[in-house]
């Protein structure tokens, strides 16, 4: 499960960087940030440390 969370985090970071450089896709940044917050909250609730 930890490997999957690392993979998701890397994909979110790459997507966020891509969204930051592509100005026309401004909504993508907000979606990625929401997904990242959900992943962090899930980790806190489940008690797992990354």
* DSSP tag of 23: T
Both tokens of residue 21?
A: 């450089």
Per the structure, the complete domain to which residue 30 belongs is given by 2-46
> 1 or 46: whose pLDDT is higher?
46
What pTM value is reported for the model? 0.47
> What whole-number distance in Å separates Cα of residue 30 and Cα of residue 16?
9
- Count of domains forming the chain: 1
Angle at 45 (CA atoms; ends 43, 46), nearest 5 degrees: 65
φ, ψ at 48 (rounded to 5°): -90, 145
Q: Mean pLDDT across the stretch 3-11?
A: 81
Confidence of residue 44 (pLDDT cuts 50, 70, 90): confident
């Amino acid at each position: 499960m930890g490997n999957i969370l690392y993979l998701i985090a890397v994909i979110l970071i790459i997507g966020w960087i891509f969204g930051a450089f592509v100005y026309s896709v401004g909504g993508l940044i907000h979606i990625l940030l929401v997904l990242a917050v959900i992943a962090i909250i899930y980790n806190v609730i489940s008690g797992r440390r990354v």
